[in-house]
Structures are given as structure tokens and as C-alpha cells.
Structure 1
Amino acid sequence: MADESVTTVRTTADACVVGAGPVGLLAALALGRQGWQVTLLERRPEPAPGGPPSGAPAVVNIVQPVTLHLLNQLGLLDRLTEGAGIIPGAEIYFGGHLAARYRYAELDGSPVPHALSIRSFDLVRLLLAELAELSNVTVVWEADTQALTRGRDGAGSTLTVVTPEQRLVVDARFVLAADGRSSTIRELAGIPAEVVPSTGSYLDVVVPSPPDWDGVARAHFGAHGYLLETRRAEEGLVLVWITDSVTAAQVTEGPIELLVETLSGVVPRLADWIAEHIKDWDQVRRVQHHFVRTKTWNLDNVVLVGDSAHGMHAFGGQGLNTSLQDAACLAEMVDSALRGDTAAGIERYEALRRPFIEAFQSLQVSNTQEPPAGAAAEEERAPEFEVLALGQPAIRPLIADAAAFLAEDNGQHRR
């Protein structure tokens, strides 16, 4: 029986976005700037001014030039760069030997001459500030979505949401599920999904940047697994070690000196620096990643975006990048559908995107298992730098269209 003491409020929206992480915020902002009525639901409490969302991990991501271009179209790049670490390029090593050297500024077609290492909550903070300027976007915090009646044959969907203050019923023409790998909306919509934990191990540790370090990201492949040295926003140097679970257990069950020895063996030029600055296991962060595979990314007017559609491992740094690209492209397609375009392209986008995502997930799986032997086998494990920097070739035209879409702002709903 319903609690009659709780006030029920019914509202309508052109789009209801669920999840106020970077992906959901970008989608809500893109649609809001087009003048659509947007309701954004987030289960966590509203973050304190200047701070991360409650319960959100201090995640740092490498954002590639193609994704930075999308954020630049929203007017965010300069502000985002202020608290970020600039990454001018990358180098790939196999068995300790330099195999490839890349610089973003030398890459033909790169819209930005570098990548950025950013804290996710810095991006969240900037996107929230932009949303606060729009009177047609309503953000509901501590929103627990309990029911979803999916629209069919062009009809809208209805979400039933409980907050500490009220029971909210949202009638929405489109629902965008950006609520992560354990997506409530995906489950309520009846979209089958497989959420599989990675069999490998991911450890990272942050140390101060060496005085002579140039900021270049360096990926080391070898018998140890995979080690990445790169910037952690503006905080210093982060060493990310991805290996099979057996090797990780052998190291992590021993003294911290064993980890120091392992990392120093991979990057001898940093051996003294690593030994000086890694002293305790409390400095080491261990993360369990998951792969998400769903039967479909779109059912009637419910659209899965980002991790709710295709959660990834951190290897290759493409999780946030592909998700933000998806959010921009799908927001443009939802905009077209709201304007009456029956061929808006949402299904076509999935058809183009899914094979790339699944192939990349397979590459990530191979890099979290026992490493193959031989230099040739090692080289097969490295993703193509151009694809990381500029995005999947098949959807680059769609990303270009989305970039132009993000730059549009009718300005009619600014406070």
C-alpha cells in the first residue's frame, strides 16, 4: 500500500536522463541547450560546492583529443585544463625496448595537440555549473527509480521515483540510462545484460613527478603484464600495473619491497625514484573492473549510454572516452527524433559502434590474462594510437556531426 503521507508529483519531460556522472551530465546539457525539457535523476546526494559527488571514487581518466574537442564545443576545455595534467604523447615498449613513439601534435587530424589527465569530479563540477544555467533542466538528487513503464510504438515511458521529500512520476518521451554498469534502468526496461568481473588485477600507485619527467605516457608490455606510467591530473605520476591474478597475488601477498622490485624491473630509469617514494601498501589502490555486454543498447525509447551499455576495463583508457562520445552522438540523435525524424539513426549507431566496442573488450580481456610469449604476440596486445586519439574510424563522421551539435545553444533557457 502506498504511503499516503508522501506527496506525489507528476511531471513531463522530453528526455529523462538517469545518472549524473560525466556521461549523463553531458547528454542532459546537450539536450537542454537545444531547449528540450530535461529531467536528470541521480541516486546520490548533491555534491558539496567544489567537491566530488558523495561516494564517488577519486577516479582519474586520460581524455583523448577527439573527446576534448567535444568538450571544447561546450566551452569547457580551457577550464578543464586548469586542473589537469597535459600529456603530449605516448611511447610503447616491448620487453624494455622502444617500439613506437607518438606525439599528438604530429598526428594528422588531431583536433587538440595533447591529451589530458583529469579527475572525473572536476568534469562533473564543470558540467553541473553549466546545467545550473538552464531553466529547462531539472536535477533531482537522491532519486531512487523504482518502476519504469516502457513506451511502445512511439509512446513515452513513465518512471516512478522516490526521493526523501516526495514520490515523483516522470512521463518522458525518451529515457537515457547513464547509470553505470549496474544500471537500474536497464534492469527495469527488461534489457538482458551480462556483467562480468575482470579476471586480471589492476593496481595503481601515485608518486611525485620526477624533476626531469616530460609528461609522456609510456606503456610497457612484457612478462610482467602491462605497466603504464602517466600523469594523474596535476597531482604527480601514476604507475598503473595490470597483470594476471596469479602474478598479482604473489606480489601483493608479500612485502611492499616486492612491488617496488617488480615495478623497478619494468622501468629501470625510475627505479631509484620508485624506491624512494613507494613505502607502504596503503599507497596502492586496487580496483576490480567489470565488462558489461547487453543484448541491445536501445529498446523502444529507452537508450543505454556508456557503462550501462558497454562497461570496460581501464586498459587503453577508453571507458570514459567512448562513453562521452556516445553521449554526444546519441544526444544529437535523440534531438532529431524529438523533432520528428523517424530515421534518427540510434539503431544504426549501435550497429556501427558495437563491433568496435566488443573487439576492444576482447583486447582488454587478453591484457588481463597471462601474457603471451614472444615479441610478435606482445605487439598484438597494443591498441592503435590513432584509434585511441581520434576515435573509431567508422563513427568519426558522426562524432564530427555531434561536435557541431554541441556547439549549438539557442540561449533561450539560460537563467
Structure 2
Amino acid sequence: MEVAEAVVAGAGPAGCAAALALARRGTHVTLVEPRPERGGRFAGEWLHPAGVAALARLGVSLPSGAFVEKRGFLVHPGAGHTPIELPYSQGGAVTAPHHVFAGALLAQARRTGSVTVVLGPRLTDATARGACRVAGELLHVPLVVGADGRNSAVRRALYRNAAPPVTLSHTAGLVLRDVPLPTEGYGHIFLGGPGPALVYRIAPALVRVCLDVPLSRPGAGQVRAYLEGRFTGHLPAELAEAFRRGVRAGDVQWSAGQFRRRACFGRGRVALVGDAAGCGHPLAAQGMTNAVLDAEGLAAATDLEGYRKARTQASRVPERVAAAVHRVLTGHDRASLALRHSLFALWRGDAHERARSMRLLALEETRRGALCGSVAHIAAGALAYAVRDERSDLLDSVATVTGLTNWLLWLAGSHVGVPPRRLVRKVAVMGC
């Protein structure tokens, strides 16, 4: 194999974006992908405005008609409450099946003269000195990029004793055909079931349903009845009927909702991008946007150490936001319920806080001060709710206040992505 200046492992959205970004600065790149057929894969399908803007800065134009634009989210609290609209502050997101994203970026990489695409071989090893093995051949290059996902072979080679990611929940995915959404142009979050249901259009005739399913789900023999019985009643009628048919037909795909801190972006001459560097719960839909921003940051950095420091710093706020969103929408303890009540009240009545929440969620705002300000407002509302709640006695209020204190300590601490009840596995988030 001809030796390039950089070898990128993985030709998904993360790898293609990294190859295109490096090529844009004049680097000759070999892009290696062992599994060229990606159709039907249950993976990232949502790109926040920050990712769309980053692709534009890299000279990437997404084909018109292949992607569905999104203006934000609609949260459906259930129990008869009206939905809460959460529009993006600026720009819009795009959605499409994962293989459409990957195919569009791979096609652009093929058209780039300084990117060589090699399909079939697998990069199986890498060292901090820039040695890597592709299809049994040992190569020495100035830069190796691991863009090969959560199960990255490059990451495993660099950090051989690393703990595995922490699994937070299961994600069940279905694609429904020819079904309407309550409001087009938005992602919909339906609450009331065992976990949130995130529903959005990925093509003119296709709607994606992602269910956050607790780890305590029943086994394979009962899980279909569980999904139908526990989630269907919280979806609109037409969507619920299509969902029921899909579950009964066995069209459900499964994925693990995992957390691994984005604190290890490589070593020596090896850089990690996208989920290879770390991942958060998919409910926040930050995965592909993080990957594109990693790619842009890698190409912009003057050296690899600068890239690692910059992306570690930039990842701290988004990963806390993703962890907090998942916990506040799924927690059933007193503190989480009070925080959810406060958050929904702020979103309904305070346009500034609503906009700030969306900037944080969409990775447009990564300053700690912005997160602290948002958390302070939400916590103050939760405290007021706990004190005023006439259904609670003094002991209940004290328990809620104690829970809020622990919640805030968790959010500020090093174990932020792991539910408190599972901190026995905290080593998985403390290092690489």
C-alpha cells in the first residue's frame, strides 16, 4: 500500500470528515474502511446546526433532497400538557439515514485528489509512534486517525488497559413508513413511557423512532409486548398504530446507550475523533456533530497536543449537558422530578433560558459560565417547587433539597455521565 501522510481508520461520517478536513489543509490521506456496505445501520442520523456549519466551512455541501431540515425539538410532557417548542437559535439541523450521511461524505472524499479511499482492509493496530497495520502490512506515517467508532481498534491499541464504556440504557430503533408527525420540521420527544421516545423524519416517507429503554427491560421473549404495552399509549394515534405494527413485525433494532468521557483524543502521532474519542447518551443526538467538530479541530490544530487539549476542553460542557438531559428526563427520584418541573416551566415562560438551553444542547455554546447560569436557574426553580409543594411534608422537602445538592455535585464532578447508583464502575469514566 502506498504510504500517505495520514491514515484514517473508518469511512463513516467521522472518518470522511477528518479526511476531508486534513485534505483541505494539503495533507495526503489514505481512508481505510473494512465495511463499505452501511445500509440499514442503526447509528447517528441527526446533525445539529454547529455540525452543519462546520461541514460548510470544510467545503462540504450536502446533496439537496437527501436530507431533511429540522428547526428544533418539540417536547411532549404527556398527561394532557401542551408540547414545549424548543427552536434552534440560529440555523437548522439536518437528518437522514446514517448510510446517506456516510455515502455523501465518502463521495466527496473520492472526488478529492489528495484522499485515497481503500475499501475492504481493516486497520488492526496502531502505536503512538505512527506505526499502523493495514491488511497485515505495517505502515509508518506521520499521523494515524482513529475514526472507527465506539469499538475503535485504534483506541484499544493505544489504551490497552482502558475500562469499557458504561451502559446507561438500551436504545430500541424502528423506521416507520408513510406516517405523519404532529408537526413537521421538528424532532419530537414523547415522555410518559419507561423512557423518552425521540421521533423524527429521516426521509420524505420515513420516520425514525428511538426509544430509551431501561436496563431492567424484560428478556427477548417478552420485550415486544413490553415495548408495545409501555410506549404505544404515549404516542399520537397514527404514529402509535404504525409503531405497534413495526414492533409486532419484529422490525426493532437495538443499540446500547453508553457513556465514555471524551477526555482521551489520542497519544503521540495518533488522534481519535468521533465516538472513538468518547460518547454520550444518544438522546442528546450529539454524536455526529461532535465527530465533525473533532475533524475540523484536528485539521486546524498546529500540533496534535493542541488538538487534544482543545477538544478535551470543548467537550466538557456538551457531555455534561447530554448527561443532565438524560437524567432529568428519565429520573424518578424527588430531585429529578423537581428539576424536570422547573426545566419545563423555564422553557415555557423564559425565551432567554429556552434559547440558552438549545445553544448548549446543540454545541453552539460550550462555555462553562453559560452552563452554570442555566443550571443555577433550573436548580432555583426546583428548590422553590420543593418548598411550595403542598403535597409534601417537611421530611419530603428536606429529602428533595438533599437530592438537589447531590444532583449538583454529580453534575460538577468527574462521574457526571454515570447514574449515581452505578458509581461502582466509576473507573470507566475517570480515564482512557
Query: Shorter-chain TM-score category?
Result: 0.7 to 0.9
CA contact (8 A) 1:19 1:177 kept: yes
Structure 1 unaligned blocks of 5 or more: 1-8, 152-156, 396-415
User: What residue number does 2:419 align with?
Assistant: none
CA contact (8 A) 2:195 2:213 kept: yes
User: What residue number does 1:372 align with?
Assistant: 333
CA distance in 2, matches of 1:84, 1:69: 15
User: What residue number does 2:366 align with?
Assistant: 393
Q: Could you tell me how far 1:213 is from its partner in structure 2?
A: 4.2
CA contact (8 A) 1:195 1:290 kept: no
Matched residue SS, 2:117? strand
CA contact (8 A) 2:173 2:208 kept: yes
Q: Could you tell me how far 1:212 is from its partner in structure 2?
A: 6.4
CA distance in 1, matches of 2:224, 2:309: 52
Q: Within 5 A, what are the aligned runs for 1:5-404?
A: 9=1, 11-44=2-35, 46-47=36-37, 52=38, 57-59=41-43, 61-79=45-63, 81-96=64-79, 97-98=81-82, 100-104=84-88, 107=89, 110=90, 112=91, 114-151=92-129, 157-162=130-135, 167-190=136-159, 192-207=161-176, 208-210=178-180, 213-222=183-192, 224-246=194-216, 248-249=217-218, 253=222, 256=225, 259-267=227-235, 270-275=236-241, 278-279=244-245, 280-293=248-261, 296-333=264-301, 336-337=302-303, 345-360=306-321, 362-363=323-324, 366=327, 371-373=332-334, 375-379=337-341, 384-394=357-367
Structure with the largest fraction of strand? 1
CA distance in 2, matches of 1:355, 1:191: 24
Give the length in aligned residue pairs. Answer: 352
CA contact (8 A) 2:143 2:270 kept: yes
CA contact (8 A) 1:26 1:324 kept: yes
User: What residue number does 1:411 align with?
Assistant: none
CA distance in 2, matches of 1:117, 1:350: 24
CA contact (8 A) 1:143 1:161 kept: yes
CA contact (8 A) 1:225 1:370 kept: no
Describe the shift of the 1:367–1:252 C-alpha distance in structure 2 as closer, same or farther (beyond 3 A).
Answer: farther
Alpha-carbon displacement from aligned partner over 1:362-411 (angstroms, at most 9, x marks no partner): 3366369653357423357899322233534249xxxxxxxxxxxxxxxx
Describe the shift of the 1:73–1:316 C-alpha distance in structure 2 as closer, same or farther (beyond 3 A).
Answer: same
Q: Could you tell me how far 1:22 is from its partner in structure 2?
A: 0.7
Matched residue SS, 1:238? strand
CA contact (8 A) 1:242 1:368 kept: no
CA distance in 2, matches of 1:252, 1:353: 43
Q: Which moved more, 1:200-209 or 1:373-382?
A: 373-382
CA distance in 2, matches of 1:204, 1:198: 17
Describe the shift of the 1:316–1:365 C-alpha distance in structure 2 as closer, same or farther (beyond 3 A).
Answer: closer
CA distance in 1, matches of 2:306, 2:319: 20
Matched residue SS, 1:12? coil
CA distance in 1, matches of 2:333, 2:299: 41
Matched residue SS, 2:184? coil
CA distance in 2, matches of 1:74, 1:187: 29
Describe the shift of the 1:78–1:369 C-alpha distance in structure 2 as closer, same or farther (beyond 3 A).
Answer: closer
Alpha-carbon displacement from aligned partner over 1:50-109 (angstroms, at most 9, x marks no partner): xx36xx715351111111112233454451x412222223222334424632233xx2xx
CA distance in 2, matches of 1:320, 1:37: 24
| Bigger RCO (CA 8 Å, 6+ sep) | 1
Alpha-carbon displacement from aligned partner over 1:114-151 (angstroms, at most 9, x marks no partner): 22211221122222222222332222222233443432
Describe the shift of the 1:200–1:368 C-alpha distance in structure 2 as closer, same or farther (beyond 3 A).
Answer: farther
Describe the shift of the 1:13–1:377 C-alpha distance in structure 2 as closer, same or farther (beyond 3 A).
Answer: same
Q: Report the TM-score, using the length of structure 2 for normalisation.
A: 0.71
Q: Could you tell me how far 1:26 is from its partner in structure 2?
A: 0.7
Q: Could you tell me how far 1:318 is from its partner in structure 2?
A: 0.8
Describe the shift of the 1:381–1:301 C-alpha distance in structure 2 as closer, same or farther (beyond 3 A).
Answer: farther
* Letter of the structure 1 residue corresponding to residue 309 of structure 2: R
Q: Could you tell me how far 1:310 is from its partner in structure 2?
A: 0.5
CA distance in 1, matches of 2:218, 2:167: 15
Q: Could you tell me how far 1:271 is from its partner in structure 2?
A: 2.4
Describe the shift of the 1:273–1:218 C-alpha distance in structure 2 as closer, same or farther (beyond 3 A).
Answer: closer
CA contact (8 A) 1:91 1:98 kept: no
CA distance in 1, matches of 2:228, 2:98: 28
CA contact (8 A) 1:243 1:369 kept: no
Alpha-carbon displacement from aligned partner over 1:298-330 (angstroms, at most 9, x marks no partner): 311211111111023311111111121111112
Matched residue SS, 2:333? coil
Q: Which moved more, 1:385-394 or 1:361-370?
A: 361-370
Q: Percent of aligned positions with the same letter in both sequences?
A: 22
Q: Could you tell me how far 1:17 is from its partner in structure 2?
A: 1.3
Structure 2 unaligned blocks of 5 or more: 345-355, 369-432
Matched residue SS, 1:169? strand
